[in-house]
Chains A and B, each alone.
Chain A
Amino acid sequence: MPRRLIPIILFAAPALFPAHSSSAQSLPPSSSGPCTLQGSVVDAVSGQPVPHALVKLSAAAAARATLTDSAGRFQFEALPAGPVTLEAEKPGFLTRDRFGRWSPPTVALQLAPDSPPALLKLVSEGVIFGQVSDENGEPLEGFTIRLLLRRPGHRSLTSEMLHRATITDDQGRFRIAGLRPGFYYLEARPVHEPALSATGKSFAPSGYSPAFYPGVKDIASAVPLKILPGRMVQATLSLKREPFVQLSGTVSGYTPDEQITVSLEDPFGVSASSEIVFDRTTGAFHTQWVPPGVYTISSQSAVAVVVDEGNAVSIASQSSATGPSGFTRAPTTTFASLRVNATTSQSNLHLALQPTIEIPVVVHGLPTSNDESLQPVPPALVLLPKEPFLHPNPNVGAQPISLNPQPTGDFHAVFAGLMPGTYELEIAPQQNAAYYAESATWGSTDLLREDLILDSSGSIPPIQMTVRDDGATLNGKVHFGDIPLPAQVVLLTDKPRAPVFLPVSSDGIFSISGLAPGAYRIFAVDSSADFDYQDPAFLAKISSKIQEVTLAPKQSASINLGLAAVGESAP
């Protein structure tokens, strides 16, 4: 392949250069003559030049690369005039991540003989380093350090995907580099099983529980570490050795031929089901030795769970009866759960399995079509439990269900596997969604304004939802300051549901379609912010950056936003 490339360049060359007489020794001073591109690479935060950085240039005819000199300067010669793109990189500075969420600024310019020097800014990566030690100040080796990121507006933490796991060394030290700006929670977890005490007098092993910085066991008291560009943060954790505990008890309420599973979740929401043993003939369960903390033990009758390609979860089984009104019903499952604050071993815990509840859903307003390939894209529906641990597989509650078209023109679906409790209906806008929810009611409850309170008695009416396709479109641009930070655009409405979060590209562009008409308050925030968007005090603080927009059906609007400075604005 490379060999054929050369003739192309040679043949293309005359096209790039004006057809002048071959006797010309010096190049004609025309605007399309060969140009020289100079520039420099600097640190975006400090402004200092970055020596020995790699600068990559791509133009129509060629790709070039060079290293900056000791003063951070670079030069490319003999380039054709026209569009060129420049990108710089060096270890120690943030580069494109594989999810495409963050990319360094590239400079795209139209090259001409009189082009000014180009300036490329590199943002240095953040670093978290520190030490884990015990209560005597002795270093603790062999602890896995994990960083968890809270996405704004989301309740759960996601683990920051690092290219390798970090384990504390023989001095208890660890170091994690390559961090993008954000709020990070640091978790330390021992790798090894605890050892029993040597003389075997007491049979309870002691060891260390997983902990969050600065050394607490629950996320509510954990202190996040704020990483701004180029910031190095030191984190020291002090952990105390504690005796481990065992939990045991029984499960009741199942028939001998039912398949029952018993699971254990540790205080960090991590599944620890390998540590729990269940004997279904006696109904007895017990855990291995586990660190003290708040655990969730749950049990449910095991049914096959099918995930289809649309990532919708439905319950599959051999016997599915057809209930009234033509709904296809999944058989009921049973569920029980307990939250145990285990500071010492506990026995005689009891899980009484209860049947789960289903809520049917009817969606009106989606057009039917005989053409299977023209299925409309309905909004995704999610029921979020307020108390996740009380429900089977909380992720099921948070997963959208697929809508099945019916001949009558309505779409049916069902939320299955629910337990009594309080829920929030979340209607998540999909990419290219053409429909928005005009109304969603359940009996006399307006689900767009109120919570769904489910109890185990009485009949369960279906959720009635009406969607419309005359939604509005909104797009716009966020203007960053000097340092581009990952940003999000937030849309708040008068209906107290979760705000809509829009990702912003590295150029600041955002867009959404299928928005319900109405009044919105819109603002853009730095993604590393960790504030409560419903908090009136927070909104008052950034009020100058909030824009109010009222959208009519099918209206297309465009706005410009400045980045609301949240918390510390300067690194």
Chain B
Amino acid sequence: MISRLTLRAVTLLGFFLAVNAFAVPAVPPAATYRIAGIVVDSVTGQPLDGTEVTVAPLQDMNDAQSLMTSDDGRFLFAGLAPGKYSLLASRRGYASQALDQHESFWTSIVVGPRLDSEHIRFPLAPSSVITGVVTDDWGDPVRDAKVLLFQQSTFDGSRTLRNVNQTTTDDQGRYRFAHLLSGTYAVAVFARPWYTKNASPLLLQTLTNLQSIASSGAQVEPGASEASHASVAEDTSQPPLAQLFDVVYPVTFFPSATSLADAGRLALAPGATETADFQLHAVPSVHLRVRVPVEPPATVVSHEGGEETATQEDSPAAFLLSLHIGDYTDQIEPVRNEIAPGVIELSKIPSGEVNLVAMSLTSQAGNEVSRSKELRVSGDTDIDLSAPGDSANVSGVVLASQFHPAPTNAEQASADQPSGGRAALIRVIEEASPNVTITFRSIKTGESYSATVSSEGKFSFAGSTFPAGSYEVEFPAQTSLRVVSLEATGATASGRTIDISAGLSLNLVVHAAEANCTLSGFALKNGKPVAGAMVLLVPQDPGHDMSLYHRDQSDSDGSFSMSPLFPGRYLLLAIENGWDLEWADPAILFRYLPNGQPVDLAPAASLSLNAKVQ
């Protein structure tokens, strides 16, 4: 079964394949090769029958072939062209995995002359299972609850929990994750109480308003006060009505924590089944009272039946509320209610780490300016996104090879467009690529201001202003673009930080680097290639920028390839059994550094270097 592994592999290796530093040895057209070996139980060593073994060439993962092993556990694929192949195995009762898999890396099989690809031993670990039942306050099953599985990994060099799978509970509130590799896991549940799903915003509003009238003692007609007071019997098992629907289940981590840091860890042995049951408790919803700039109503002119009518339209503030649970993100649909001009109350929000993005629509077409705040929500919170900043407009340009200034002559630039070659290719990519967003993040308040960058590299925050302070400039959504340095007249810039003071009109030049380098080679120990080693590229001046680090796993012939990389100076390391290392810890990495090889990557360079395995 080729599943998510395929997608990950394509993501990881897509760029690499286009610039593969390997010259495939010239072979006579008729020569083909084989991949053969045996699948065994990783615990007992017994050969495994009935296993589906799949090979696929790395450059075309859809061109897969599958075979089913018989009693001897052996597999044989013949007639293969030279190249690199992924090797996957899946079997009932066992974890599905690629050969020598570590997180999203594995050892590919390199096939070709003078290479041995016919004596592969593929250990498969017995499948582990995590299962459980989710119930509510009254012990009733919660169906369609979202269950998230996190696995402890060293993805960014430290032991973190990363989201590896999701599922939903069935009508009995039951969920099941199977085919898991042994390891350390955590489980979280995110659900809405079923009885709040049906409360239409209008109903909720009516109830809330009626309740607030009754409690505020507003003047009403005699005899009518009881009509406006929605009430229920004095049964203690029933909450007051207006609060009945304004409840949520907090994001719950097994066994009963509300944050990922406090989540219980489940240690899963190969072949083991662990149970993680949840009881969800409804709590009052968190309310976010967001103050937004009160925009003057826009005048809309419509032409109907030959007549022009001008109407005033309120421009609504658009909100995007997303919930972050570790590295998992989900959108929330809160109930919104304008409780005062410019003050919008959002409810039906679970407590947790919430990222609120408020987008105010700007006048320029295609230029989205947004102001966002990341906050951990544990109770009712006031958020002010309306405060006019102290500074004047901020605008500027990003300098990078992917941005091209527009042609200066007024006529349609089609005649000037390159018709062939690299420039034409860049134009095609530019037109097809999604917008780049530049973000200014306030170091003091954590609020972020984002704007889109045009294809010419220009950006502008026209119409919104920043509070004075220090800001870090970054491209949060782009993994292949990073800020190197800033240049501004009349403002202090150091590294990627700029100080914006009151009353300033800022024109900023952002020097950005693109990840367009490739580094490949062989992992060698005493001159002999080592398969399955962890190859790590460590930036010389990391500046806490994790995006500069890069990892790969050496393939069956010891080869590795890393791409796309940012230009810069690095140290290349290869560690034989390095998959459990918390390599972001300088103390741990320290002892490997002396044996690393320095690498200097110029922009768009493609280098070949062998790494000494430690």
As a 0/1 sequence over residues 202 to 230 of chain B, the CB contacts with chain A under 8 angstroms (1 = contact) are 11011101100100000011111011111
Asked if A67 is at the interface of the complex by the 8 Å CB criterion, the answer is: yes
Complex alpha-carbon distance, A14 and B224, angstroms? 7
A34→B227 contact, CB < 8 A: yes
Q: A65-B245, A66-B244, A69-B237 are in contact. List 18 more A-B contacts (CB 8 A).
A: A2-B206, A9-B210, A17-B227, A34-B226, A56-B198, A61-B227, A63-B203, A65-B207, A67-B238, A69-B238, A80-B227, A90-B194, A169-B176, A169-B178, A175-B172, A177-B170, A195-B66, A196-B67
The verdict on A91 contacting B194 (CB below 8 Å), with A13-B223, A127-B171, A139-B92 known, is yes
Contacts of A200 in B (CB 8 A): 67, 76, 78
Q: List 13 A-B contacts (CB under 8 A).
A: A2-B205, A6-B210, A10-B221, A13-B220, A17-B224, A34-B227, A65-B198, A67-B238, A75-B233, A77-B226, A127-B171, A193-B66, A195-B52
The verdict on A62 contacting B230 (CB below 8 Å), with A175-B171, A195-B68, A196-B67 known, is yes
A54→B198 contact, CB < 8 A: yes
- Interface positions of B (Cβ within 8 A of A): 1, 52-53, 65-70, 74-76, 78, 92-93, 127, 129, 138, 140-141, 143, 170-172, 176, 178-179, 194-195, 198-199, 202-203, 205-207, 209-210, 213, 220-224, 226-233, 235, 237-238, 241, 244-245, 337
Contacts of B172 in A (CB 8 A): 175
Contacts of B138 in A (CB 8 A): 51-52, 70
Contacts of B233 in A (CB 8 A): 69, 74-75, 77
B178→A170 contact, CB < 8 A: yes
A198→B227 contact, CB < 8 A: no
B232→A75 contact, CB < 8 A: yes
The verdict on A198 contacting B67 (CB below 8 Å), with A10-B228, A54-B198 known, is yes
Complex alpha-carbon distance, A63 and B222, angstroms? 22
Contacts of B65 in A (CB 8 A): 196
Complex: chain B residue closest to A206, CB-CB: B68
A385 CB, nearest partner CB in chain B, Å: 40
B320 CB, nearest partner CB in chain A, Å: 23
A170: which of B67, B78, B127, B202 is its contact (CB, 8 Å)? B127
Complex alpha-carbon distance, A200 and B75, angstroms? 9
Complex: chain A residue closest to B171, CB-CB: A177
Asked if A78 is at the interface of the complex by the 8 Å CB criterion, the answer is: yes
Asked if A199 is at the interface of the complex by the 8 Å CB criterion, the answer is: yes
A198: which of B53, B203, B209, B245 is its contact (CB, 8 Å)? B53
Complex: chain A residue closest to B199, CB-CB: A65
The verdict on A9 contacting B171 (CB below 8 Å), with A69-B237, A170-B127, A200-B67 known, is no
A residues 169-196 touching B (CB-CB < 8 Å): 169-171, 175, 177-178, 192-193, 195-196
B68: which of A13, A67, A196 is its contact (CB, 8 Å)? A196
Contacts of B129 in A (CB 8 A): 170
B206→A78 contact, CB < 8 A: no
Complex: chain A residue closest to B93, CB-CB: A170
B214 CB, nearest partner CB in chain A, Å: 11
A197: which of B68, B78, B143 is its contact (CB, 8 Å)? B68
State the 9 A-B residue pairs at the shortest beta-carbon distance, nearest first: A13-B224, A177-B171, A170-B178, A2-B205, A195-B66, A75-B233, A198-B67, A195-B68, A78-B226
Contacts of B179 in A (CB 8 A): 170
A197→B70 contact, CB < 8 A: yes
Contacts of B76 in A (CB 8 A): 198-200
Asked if A220 is at the interface of the complex by the 8 Å CB criterion, the answer is: no
Contacts of B220 in A (CB 8 A): 10, 13
Complex: chain A residue closest to B201, CB-CB: A2
Asked if A373 is at the interface of the complex by the 8 Å CB criterion, the answer is: no
As a 0/1 sequence over residues 431 to 458 of chain A, the CB contacts with chain B under 8 angstroms (1 = contact) are 0000000000000000000000000000
B67→A141 contact, CB < 8 A: no
Contacts of B226 in A (CB 8 A): 34, 77-78
Asked if A16 is at the interface of the complex by the 8 Å CB criterion, the answer is: yes
A residues 1-54 touching B (CB-CB < 8 Å): 1-3, 5-6, 9-10, 13-14, 16-17, 20, 22, 24, 27, 34, 51-52, 54
As a 0/1 sequence over residues 55 to 96 of chain A, the CB contacts with chain B under 8 angstroms (1 = contact) are 010000111111101100011111010000000011110000
Asked if A160 is at the interface of the complex by the 8 Å CB criterion, the answer is: no
- Interface positions of A (Cβ within 8 A of B): 1-3, 5-6, 9-10, 13-14, 16-17, 20, 22, 24, 27, 34, 51-52, 54, 56, 61-67, 69-70, 74-78, 80, 89-92, 125, 127, 138-142, 169-171, 175, 177-178, 192-193, 195-200
A192: which of B1, B127, B232 is its contact (CB, 8 Å)? B1
A198→B70 contact, CB < 8 A: yes
A2→B337 contact, CB < 8 A: yes
Complex alpha-carbon distance, A51 and B136, angstroms? 13
Q: How many A-B residue contacts, CB cutoff 8 Å?
A: 149
Complex alpha-carbon distance, A19 and B419, angstroms? 85
Contacts of B209 in A (CB 8 A): 2-3, 5-6
A16→B69 contact, CB < 8 A: no
Q: Which of A75, A171, A177, A195 has the most chain B CB atoms inside 10 A of its CB? A: A195
B74→A199 contact, CB < 8 A: yes
Contacts of A9 in B (CB 8 A): 210, 227-228
Contacts of A197 in B (CB 8 A): 67-68, 70
B213 CB, nearest partner CB in chain A, Å: 7
Complex: chain B residue closest to A89, CB-CB: B198
A198→B74 contact, CB < 8 A: yes
B232→A77 contact, CB < 8 A: yes
Complex: chain A residue closest to B170, CB-CB: A175
Contacts of A66 in B (CB 8 A): 232, 238, 241, 244
Complex alpha-carbon distance, A169 and B129, angstroms? 11
Complex alpha-carbon distance, A229 and B53, angstroms? 45
A369 CB, nearest partner CB in chain B, Å: 32
Complex alpha-carbon distance, A90 and B337, angstroms? 28
Complex: chain A residue closest to B51, CB-CB: A198
The verdict on A14 contacting B221 (CB below 8 Å), with A177-B170, A195-B52 known, is yes
Contacts of A125 in B (CB 8 A): 171
Complex: chain A residue closest to B231, CB-CB: A77
Complex alpha-carbon distance, A178 and B172, angstroms? 12
Complex alpha-carbon distance, A198 and B72, angstroms? 10
Contacts of A14 in B (CB 8 A): 221, 224
A5: which of B69, B206, B235 is its contact (CB, 8 Å)? B206
Contacts of A22 in B (CB 8 A): 222
A170 CB, nearest partner CB in chain B, Å: 4
A358 CB, nearest partner CB in chain B, Å: 45
The verdict on A10 contacting B224 (CB below 8 Å), with A76-B232, A170-B178, A198-B76 known, is yes
Complex alpha-carbon distance, A16 and B1, angstroms? 67
Complex alpha-carbon distance, A392 and B207, angstroms? 60
Complex alpha-carbon distance, A64 and B199, angstroms? 10
Complex: chain A residue closest to B226, CB-CB: A78
Complex: chain A residue closest to B2, CB-CB: A192
A147 CB, nearest partner CB in chain B, Å: 15
A201 CB, nearest partner CB in chain B, Å: 10
Contacts of A1 in B (CB 8 A): 202
A78→B92 contact, CB < 8 A: no
B119 CB, nearest partner CB in chain A, Å: 16
A94 CB, nearest partner CB in chain B, Å: 12
A4 CB, nearest partner CB in chain B, Å: 11
B389 CB, nearest partner CB in chain A, Å: 31
Complex alpha-carbon distance, A28 and B546, angstroms? 75
B114 CB, nearest partner CB in chain A, Å: 24
A340 CB, nearest partner CB in chain B, Å: 27
Complex: chain A residue closest to B53, CB-CB: A198
